[in-house]
Amino acid sequence: MKIGRLNHVGVAVPSVDEAAEVYRTMFGATDISEIKDLPEQGVRVRFVHLENSEIELIEPLGEASPIVKFLEKHPKGGQHHVCFEVEDIIKARDAMREKGATVLGTGEPRIGAHGVPVIFVHPKDFNGVLVELMAKPELSH
């Protein structure tokens, strides 16, 4: 497998609306998505669209949210993951495992915030950075 484009940087925050407001007022960002709830993943997201990439703002949705623990450690929010595009998500997952990396969960790709399958790879395998791999979207934004 070969790494593709940086699709987005994930930032965990207590409130996606308040965080979106920071990007709007501090940076003049205007292209910011509406809230999207992903109950299966326990998160609520908004995207700040940039010229070459996106910031994915992530707020916990429900008590079992995987973001809850992260926000306990970083109450004001913090950089959570980076997401790279890959041509084939199954081949990418298998390659990660063959190379000894830990794919989180069952390893079955789940539909992510962009409507395409994603997997996550453990930060211990990537210099402390949680990595999301996503199938290349059909159309780039």
* SS3 category, 59: strand
Beta strands 117-121 and 43-49, pairing class: unpaired
Shortest distance, position 45 Cβ to Co ion, whole Å: 8
Interface residue with Co ion, options 83, 119, 130, 133 (CB under 5 A): 83
Active-site position among 34, 54, 132, 138: 132
Residue nearest to Co ion (CB): 10
Stretch that binds Co ion, among 15-23, 61-69, 102-110, 128-136 (CB under 5 A): 128-136
Shortest distance, position 38 Cβ to Co ion, whole Å: 10
* SS3 category, 131: strand
Compute CA distances 110 → 26, 49, 115, 116, 133, whole Å: 34, 23, 9, 8, 11
Q: Which is nearer to Co ion, 98 or 126 (CB)?
A: 126
Interface residue with Co ion, options 103, 119, 132, 133 (CB under 5 A): 132
Q: Which residues contact 118 (CB under 8 A, 6 or more apart)?
A: 83, 89, 109, 110, 111, 112, 132, 133, 134, 135
**Terminal CA-to-CA distance of the chain, rounded, Å?**
24
Is 132 considered catalytic here? yes
Shortest distance, position 81 Cβ to Co ion, whole Å: 6
Q: Is 10 in the site for Co ion (CB under 5 A)?
A: yes
Interface residues with Co ion (CB under 5 A)? Answer: 10, 56, 83, 132
Point out the residues that are catalytic: 132
